Amino acid sequence: MLMSDYEIITDGGRRRRWSSAEKHRIAEEALVLALDQSDR
């Protein structure tokens, strides 16, 4: 698996580089949180 970097531009306009593994982990956390919220 290739660990390529992605450049993310956040809400504040700041630039940040994330590896694909970090990006995947963040997306997974966001999904879990969204599912958790919909349970209530």
pLDDT digits (tens, 9 = 90+) for 6-34: 677 777 877 777 778 888 888 899 889 88
Q: Which secondary structure element, helix H or strand E, spans residue 18, and what is its range? A: strand 15-19
Residue 21 phi, psi dihedral angles, 5° rounding: -65, -45
How many folded domains does the chain comprise?
A: 1
pLDDT at 10: 72
pLDDT band at residue 2, thresholds of 50, 70 and 90? low
pLDDT at 1: 47
Range of the domain at 20: 5-38
What does the DSSP assignment read for 23-39?
Answer: HHHHHHHHHHHHHHHHT
pLDDT band at residue 3, thresholds of 50, 70 and 90? low
The token duo for 11 is 């809400």
Its pTM stands at 0.45
